[in-house]
Structure formats: structure tokens, C-alpha cells
């Protein structure tokens, strides 16, 4: 279902086939596509980086340097070609309190520590745990992120310069009204229309780039008075300078930055690995999670020493890159280098681009990112899965991505545990020798241990009881305790109990718990039959 959903997503976005053939060569045509895709992404990165810098309460160049450095490093050594990384809102909302209380130098030190933690996570192979994220959580993730991207564009419909930076982000501001609002909306719709129509006419130029170019030419040529990139902030600057964060190297400093670094590292990796999965499904690629963790860590480590606010993968820009036809790392590298070129040389030109064109591009990203099929399947999937989709979406919008994913995984795990807890039952029959056999079916673990104990009729059972685990699994210590408990009851009643057909891993669990195990001669090679005798409260082999 996930692959079908992503195929539908690709069709809605008018995307080309993104799968990269191992034999495909870098032709001039392919290089042109990669460079134009990179240029499109770079143009979209400018207002995003500036806006997130405002949210964090730092200078716009701090966000732009982060977009350049993080984007360049992850494009070079990241886990997936096609992914775009840079300064993100998910990290900015965490940074704002740190900057307000301790200043920007503490932010740089935190970003350095954040990078170290992410490299460590990658070296330990923790990236593979992203496999534990269920599909409903992924749907909630993309839906919530689409809504967040949409809401982030609303600030562009405010009068330039009317918002106030309180140290806790840009807030307030008067909304556009009258003719300025109508012109803004008209240019946004025009940009979206161009992006929708362009692939049907030609694919020589990426549709988002065409939309930006046409609308920008129209605004500049007619001299229309609409908000432009330069109204947000001046982006002119020089090369980022290396410097060690000016913070005391003391335990007190570590106590300040460590909590923020841990939270930022977790949020950055979760968002990056989920984006990695999404891009991986579209490209048909697997693996790369640990490599992506290391790349993100190395990028943030470097960024902290060059005056950047840090960052992670950006699903919106990654989708723009894919929609523009990018298939290799060249597009991501080009995007970073184009962004640096804008900062150094082309700032006056880039500042003329109307914000409406970039908003139109992001609105098309929202339409393509939102999993519309999830609305149809809400009534078809299990109630718990539908609840998880909605829960993760809401928490992503009102809290943050990391919390949403953790909550979604926990709820999904609890639902899975509850469903498996209800599966425990047993078939019973009597042997010719007069023993009673309990043929246990379903997993025996903490959730089903009480139900397991309740299955037995200690008072009514004969002197010999056989518990057959051929169709069950002993999973954890709670299961061992349940076996001990039921054995104790039979011992108190003066009866004997035998356990049979425990799998090898169950056998190891019982052995580690201190029980004496005896293999039965009639046991198949792939199983262990174990007889438990009860004496003095300890189960022993017979």
C-alpha cells in the first residue's frame, strides 16, 4: 500500500521516473536537468532560511549559512541522492529559547554538540531503528508536515516589516488587504498554474523554475508593488568565517547546551530519516540510514564552527528537487553552491523575486506532499491505524515532529501489544495415559501473561499436565514469571507439569533465567522439548 500511495503522489506531482539505472551515464542533458533543479531548490531555500532564522531569533545570514553548509555536506555524503537539507522550522522553534536566554554563541556550541551526537548515533547504527516507524505514522508525518509547510507560508501574506522580533521569533504583523492582497493571491495562483501546465508543454525547464521566472519577469517588468525577497531581509554577505564558539569550556556550559543538543539531534535525525524513507520509496533504494545520520552530524558539526544555525533534511525542498527531475547528488551540490553565489554576488537580483512566486511553489509542494489517499482509507483501515494517522498529523502541527513520531510509535506499539495479548488461548485434550495437554497458541509476553495463567484449571486437572508451546513463543521475563507462577500452583496441588516444544530462543531465555533444561529425544532439530518437574518451587529438568 505504501508503494501505491507514493506512486499516486508522484503522479499528482507530474514527476518523471526517479529510479536511477546503474548503467545511466551523466550526459549533457542529465547535467542540465540537475543544475536547473539545483537552481530551483536554491531559489526556494532563500525565503525559508531567512524565515527560520527570524523564528530562531538570529541574523538571516545565520540561516543562509546553515542552508549552504548543511546542504552541501549532506548532498556530498548523505544517505540518498535527491535529498535536500538546510535550516528547518522544526529545529528553529527549539533554538529560540536558547538564543533568547544565552545568545547566539551558545547556539553555535549547541549545534557542534548536536553534530557530535548525530555522528555517534550513525556510528552506532541507530539509524536502522527508523524501520520501527509504522506506515500510519509515516502518513501522519507527511500530512502534518504538509500542513506545517502551508501554515509557514501564511507569514508571506503579512505587510513587510510589520512583524516584530521579540526574541521568541517573528510574531504579529498586519495582514495584507485590498489590492495588495488580491495581487499577491493572483500571482500565487498564476505560479501554481504555470507549474501545473508546464510539464504538459515541455520538460526542458523544471516547472517550479519556470513558474518563478515567469512571475518574477512579470512583476519586475510591470513594476508591480508586491512583497519581494528583499522585503524580508538583505541577503548580501561574505564567505562564512571559521571560529570556535565563544562560550566558557565549563561544566555549567555543558549543562546548558546538552539538553538542547539532544533534542535537536533527535528531531533532526527523525525528520531526516523519515524523509530518507520517503525518497527511498520513490527511488526504489534501500539502506543508507546510518550514513545519513553521519552526514547530518558532520554537516552540523561543521556548521557550528562556521556560524550557522544547523539543520536537517527538508521534505519540501526535497520534493521540489524530485519534481524538477533530479536523480543524482549533483542537484543538491548545485543548490548549495547557487545559494552561496546568491549570498556573495547575486543578492540584489534575488531580492527582486516576488514572494508570491515562491509561495506558489511551496503550495504546489503542499498539494503533492499531503497523502490525499489517506483520507479515503481512514474508514477502511483498522480503527487504531486511523487514529494514529490523525494523532500524528495533529501533534506534528501543534507540537513538533519528534514528539509526534514518538507518540505515534508508542500508540502503535501499545495497540500491537494489546492485539497480541488477546490472541493467547489453548486447545486441550487428554492423552491415553490420562495426562491433560494444553496446546498453547499465541505469543506469551507481558501483555498475555495474565491470560495465560487464567487458562489453566489447576484444581480439576489430573496429576500430570503437559503444556505444549509448538504454536507459541516465550518472549520475555514476564512470560517466564507466568510459567513460574502456574508451576507453583500445580506444585501446591501436588501435581507435575511438563513443558514441550519450546523454540531455541525460548530455551535460551529459560536457561538464562536459571532453569535446568533437558532436551528431549523425540524433539525435531528445529525445536527443544523440555520437561519441567516441580520441586521446592524451582523448575528442574526430567
The answer on 459 and 357 residing in a single domain is no
In a domain, 87, yes or no: yes
pLDDT at 17 over 50: no
Share of the chain residues as helix, strand and coil, in percent rounded to the nearest 5: 60, 10, 30
Which of 351, 377, 403 is the C-terminal boundary of a domain? Answer: 377
Helices (H), 124-206: 135-152, 178-201
2 neighbors 281 (Cβ within 8 angstroms) = yes
Q: Are residues 429 and 365 part of one domain? A: no
Instruction: Take residue 97 and report the three cell numbers written for it.
Output: 529559547
Do the domain assignments include residue 429?
A: yes
**Residues 216 and 321 reside in one and the same domain:** yes
Residues 328 and 461 reside in one and the same domain: no
How far, in Å, CA of 383 to CA of 414, rounded?
14
Angle, helices 178-201/207-222, rounded to nearest 10 degrees: 140
Chain segment 116-144, per-residue pLDDT in tens: 999 999 999 998 888 888 989 989 988 98
What is the rounded CA–CA span in Å between residue 261 and residue 270?
Answer: 14
Residue 409 CB partners (closer than 8 Å, separation 6+): 132, 133, 134, 137
In a domain, 26, yes or no: no
* Vertex 101 angle, CA 86 and 297, to 5°: 30
pLDDT in tens, 451-494: 999 999 999 999 999 988 888 888 888 888 888 888 889 888 99
Residue 28 inside a domain? The answer is no
The verdict on residue 498 lying in a domain is: yes
Instruction: Decide: 57 and 167 in contact? Cβ < 8 Å.
Output: yes
Residue 402 falls inside a structural domain: no
Domain identity same for 352 and 435? no
Q: In the chain, how many domains are there?
A: 2
Res. 1 pLDDT band, cuts 50 70 90: very low
Contact of 187 with 354, CB cutoff 8 Å:
yes
In this structure, is residue 189 part of a structural domain? yes
Percent of residues, the chain, with pLDDT higher than 70: 85
Greater confidence, 173 or 104? 104
Average pLDDT, stretch 218-229?
93
Q: Is the predicted pLDDT of residue 195 greater than 60, yes or no?
A: yes
- Cα separation, 6 vs 171, in Å, equals 36
80-109 tens-digit pLDDT: 888 999 998 889 888 988 999 999 999 999
Are 503 and 458 a contacting pair, CB within 8 Å?
Answer: no
> Which of the listed residues 377, 408, 439 is the one where a domain comes to its end?
377
pLDDT tens string 384-442:
999 999 999 999 888 877 789 889 999 999 998 888 888 888 999 999 988 999 999 98
What pLDDT, on a 0 to 100 scale, did the predictor assign at position 530?
A: 43
Q: Is the pLDDT of residue 6 over 50?
A: no
What per-residue confidence (pLDDT) applies to 294?
96
Query: What integer is the mean pLDDT of 27-50?
Result: 92
Greater pLDDT, 162 or 342:
342
User: Residue 23 gets which letter from DSSP?
Assistant: T
137 and 220 part of one domain: yes
Range 358-384 average pLDDT: 89
Q: What is the pLDDT at residue 542?
A: 33
Is 470 a domain residue? yes
Same domain, 438 and 360: no
Judgement on whether residues 439 and 325 belong to the same structural domain of the protein: no
Whether residues 141 and 224 fall in one domain: yes
Show the domain range for 531.
Answer: 425-541
CA–CA dist 153, 369 (Å, integer): 15
List the CATH number of the domain containing 508. 3.30.750.24
295 in the same domain as 430: no
Q: What is the overall mean pLDDT for the chain? A: 84
3-state DSSP of 395-409: HHHHCCHHHHHHHHH
Does residue 124 sit in the same domain as residue 206? Answer: yes
Amino acid at each position: 500500500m505504501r508503494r501505491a500511495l507514493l506512486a499516486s503522489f508522484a503522479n499528482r506531482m507530474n514527476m518523471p521516473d526517479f529510479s536511477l539505472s546503474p548503467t545511466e551515464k551523466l550526459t549533457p542533458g542529465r547535467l542540465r536537468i540537475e543544475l536547473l533543479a539545483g537552481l530551483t531548490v536554491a531559489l526556494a531555500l532563500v525565503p525559508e532560511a531567512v524565515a527560520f532564522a527570524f523564528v530562531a531569533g538570529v541574523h538571516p545570514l545565520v540561516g543562509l549559512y546553515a542552508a549552504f553548509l548543511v546542504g552541501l555536506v549532506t548532498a556530498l555524503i548523505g544517505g540518498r541522492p535527491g535529498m535536500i537539507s538546510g535550516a528547518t522550522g522544526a529545529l528553529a522553534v527549539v533554538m529560540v529559547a536558547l538564543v533568547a536566554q544565552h545568545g547566539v554563541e551558545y547556539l553555535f556550541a549547541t549545534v557542534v554538540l548536536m553534530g557530535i551526537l548525530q555522528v555517534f548515533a550513525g556510528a552506532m547504527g541507530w539509524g536502522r531503528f527508523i524501520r520501527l516507524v509504522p506506515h500510519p505514522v509515516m502518513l501522519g508525518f507527511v500530512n502534518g508536515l504538509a500542513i506545517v509547510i502551508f501554515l509557514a507560508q501564511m507569514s508571506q501574506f503579512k505587510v513587510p516589516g510589520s512583524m516584530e522580533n521579540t526574541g521568541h521569533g517573528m510574531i504579529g504583523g498586519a495582514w495584507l488587504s485590498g489590492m495588495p492582497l488580491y495581487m499577491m493571491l493572483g500571482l500565487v495562483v498564476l505560479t501554481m498554474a504555470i507549474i501545473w501546465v508546464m510539464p504538459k508543454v515541455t520538460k526542458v525547464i523544471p516547472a517550479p523554475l519556470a513558474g518563478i521566472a515567469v512571475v518574477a519577469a512579470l512583476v519586475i517588468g510591470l513594476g508591480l508593488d508586491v512583497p519581494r525577497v528583499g522585503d524580508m531581509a538583505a541577503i548580501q554577505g561574505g564567505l562564512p568565517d571559521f571560529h570556535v564558539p565563544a562560550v566558557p569550556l565549563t561544566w555549567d556550559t555543558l549543562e546548558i547546551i546538552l539538553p538542547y543538543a539532544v533534542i535537536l539531534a533527535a528531531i533532526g535525525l527523525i525528520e531526516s530519516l523519515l524523509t530518507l524513507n520517503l525518497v527511498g520509496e520513490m527511488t526504489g533504494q534501500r539502506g543508507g540510514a546510518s550514513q545519513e545520520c553521519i552526514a547530518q552530524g558532520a554537516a552540523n558539526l561543521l556548521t557550528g564552527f562556521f556560524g550557522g544555525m544547523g539543520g536537517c533534511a527538508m521534505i519540501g525542498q526535497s520534493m521540489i528537487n524530485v519534481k524538477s527531475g533530479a536523480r543524482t547528488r549533483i542537484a543538491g551540490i548545485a543548490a548549495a553552491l547557487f545559494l552561496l553565489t546568491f549570498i556573495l554576488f547575486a543578492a540584489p537580483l534575488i531580492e527582486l523575486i516576488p514572494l508570491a512566486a515562491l509561495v506558489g511553489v511551496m503550495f504546489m509542494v503542499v498539494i503533492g506532499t499531503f497523502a490525499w489517499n489517506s483520507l479515503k482509507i481512514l474508514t477502511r483501515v483498522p480503527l487504531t491505524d486511523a487514529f494514529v494517522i490523525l494523532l500524528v498529523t495533529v501533534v506534528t502541527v501543534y507540537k513538533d515532529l519528534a514528539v509526534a513520531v514518538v507518540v505515534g510509535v508508542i500508540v502503535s506499539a501499545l495497540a500491537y501489544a494489546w492485539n497480541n495479548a488477546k490472541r493467547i488461548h489453548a486447545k486441550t485434550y487428554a492423552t491415553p495415559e490420562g495426562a491433560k495437554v494444553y496446546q498453547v497458541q499465541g505469543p506469551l509476553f507481558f501483555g498475555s501473561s495474565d491470560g495465560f495463567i487464567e487458562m489453566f484449571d489447576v484444581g480439576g486437572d489430573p496429576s500430570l499436565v503437559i503444556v505444549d508451546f509448538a504454536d507459541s513463543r516465550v518472549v520475555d521475563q514476564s512470560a517466564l514469571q507466568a510459567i513460574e507462577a502456574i508451576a507453583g500452583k500445580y506444585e501446591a496441588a501436588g501435581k507435575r507439569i511438563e513443558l514441550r516444544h519450546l523454540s531455541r530462543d525460548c530455551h535460551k531465555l529459560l536457561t538464562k533465567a536459571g532453569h535446568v533444561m533437558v532436551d528431549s529425544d523425540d524433539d525435531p532439530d528445529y525445536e527443544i522439548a523440555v520437561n519441567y518437574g516441580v520441586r521446592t518451587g524451582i523448575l528442574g529438568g526430567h
